[in-house]
Amino acid sequence: MDRRHAREALRLLEARQPFVRATVVKSTGSVPGKVGAAMIVRADGSTLGTVGGASLEEEVRRLAAAALAARTSDLHHFELAAWRKDGLASLCGGAVDVAIEYVPARPNLLLWGGGHVAHALAQLLPTLEYDFSVADDRPEWVGVDRFPEAERREVVAPERLFDVFDPASFTHLYLLGYDALKDGEVLAGALDRFPNTIGLIASASKREHLYARLRARGVAREALARVRSPVGLALGAQSPAEIAVSIVAEIVREMHPDALPTPADEGRASASEQYVPVRPR
């Protein structure tokens, strides 16, 4: 990777913008882009660098756009010979393999409520290079002593949360508050203004009471349907630390959807597990 690509990749990571890096990883015969030729494709379709130009580059750009939409990576083979079956409209005569690497936007979490779950999350997020900010209306719960690695720590009333924070700059909002009414105020504002993932920690009873209040204020059921509650993967988590692990695990899973087992994979695993002998202890 040359310095221009390194700088741009770092800029996009810091700006929390997804992108694709397309790299020629193998070439045979006469080709315009040798091994190592690379191109960054941004979410808006703009590019930096080249993998060889002409029809190859157009096809790589198309595949990069598809990778950004599907959030997946792949390896593609191209014959740069128009006379060959499935060859591109090229007269070079060689062939290349191009790796399409999807690089996801780095997560940036906004945590409402600086309590025990938020504190447990704050221990995990920096190890993954996930950014986070914390907000609470209690000064003693958002101090630098509790959240030394938070990007921002703000004491703010729930109804003013999105006057202080730009909702579009965060990938996830988690309502971890200590007061159901205040969580409801944050959620009411988030449904209109927060464009990305919203998670709510609540018992079934608290959730239903909170949703009923919001519906009485005119909030549509469809709007509430996008709220994740309970949050995190279903791991049977109970303690704050376990809940934090389940939340982070869910984010990790969403960042790498192409790494998840397919239904066929899961079927094979299930079939093989049937024949694993269980030895007495």
**Domain membership flag for residue 281:** no
Q: Among 103, 138, 169, which residue terminates a domain? A: 103
Q: Which CATH number goes with the domain that contains 175? A: 3.40.50.720
Query: Mean per-residue pLDDT for 241-248?
Result: 95
Q: Are residues 113 and 246 in the same domain?
A: yes
Rg (CA), the chain: 24
**Domain membership flag for residue 200:** yes
Contact between residue 201 and residue 175 where contact means Cβ atoms under 8 Å apart: yes
Over residues 148-192, the pLDDT tens digits come to 999 999 999 999 999 999 998 999 999 998 898 999 999 999 998
Using the structure block, give the residue that is written with the tokens 């790796």.
Answer: 99
Contact between residue 107 and residue 98 where contact means Cβ atoms under 8 Å apart: no
Please tell me whether the overall predicted TM-score, pTM, comes out greater than 0.85 for this model. no
Q: Are residues 99 and 160 in the same domain?
A: no
Contact between residue 39 and residue 22 where contact means Cβ atoms under 8 Å apart: yes
Q: Are residues 141 and 62 in the same domain?
A: no
- Grouping H, G, I as helix, E, B as strand and the rest as coil, residue 153 is strand
276 pLDDT tier (thresholds 50, 70, 90): very low
The residues, ordered by sequence, that sit 6+ positions from 69 with a Cβ below 8 Å of its Cβ are: none
Q: Are residues 137 and 228 in the same domain?
A: yes
**Domain membership flag for residue 270:** no
Domain that holds residue 123: 108-257
Contact between residue 109 and residue 196 where contact means Cβ atoms under 8 Å apart: no
Over residues 4-44, the pLDDT tens digits come to 999 999 999 988 889 999 999 998 887 777 888 999 999 99
Mean pLDDT of the chain: 86
Q: Are residues 82 and 206 in the same domain?
A: no
**Domain membership flag for residue 271:** no
Q: Are residues 12 and 64 in the same domain?
A: yes
Q: How many domains does the chain have?
A: 2
Q: Are residues 11 and 51 in the same domain?
A: yes
Helix, strand, coil shares, percent, the chain, to 5: 40, 20, 40
Q: Are residues 180 and 221 in the same domain?
A: yes
Q: Are residues 156 and 19 in the same domain?
A: no
Exposure string for 139-172, b = 16+ CB within 10 A, e = fewer: eebbeeebbeebeebbbbebeebbeebebeebbb
